[in-house]
Structure 1
Amino acid sequence: MKYNAQMKNRVKRMEGQLRGILKMMEEGKDCKGVITQLSAVRSAIDKTIGVVVSSNLVECVIEAEKNGGKTNDLIQEAVGLLVNSR
């Protein structure tokens, strides 16, 4: 699978958020602010997982249809990845 610039930018943004959270912790910032930022990163990770899985699924389904393969198994595997990521 090829990871496009949008996916990579999402991860870079999360990396920046995590560094910001670490700085907040080192500076002794309020717990509420740290938790808010951690929740934002968790949400961003969940969304990125969805983007990666769905993009990969599209690629795999197109390839399977070209080669006469079963798409049902691919869809079930993708759903399993999403469920297990939580």
Structure 2
Amino acid sequence: MDLVAEANPEALELSKLLFDNMHKVSIEEVAMYISGEEDEKGFLFDDEFKLDIFKAVFADVDSHQSGGYDYRLAEIEETAIKN
């Protein structure tokens, strides 16, 4: 079974945005935020709505900075890999 082939475009875009923005926000933080919003609204969001929320709250907001760990490689590690 090819899971990527079964994913809808919104889920794929959200996954890419989560990866590209991991220096600003963790997956856990996004999941907790969306879960809280779903609880407040009383229904589960579809992937398109989750993508819209992520773009509005996390991805398109340059000032958002998670207090969590930055998973990107440090400058020193990147240099060591190149050499």
Q: Which has the higher contact order (CA 8 A, sep 6+)?
A: 2
In our comparison, the structure showing a higher alpha carbon Rg is: 1
Give the structure with the higher percent helix. Answer: 1
Please give the TM-score of this superposition, normalised by the length of structure 2: 0.31
Please give the TM-score of this superposition, normalised by the length of structure 1: 0.30
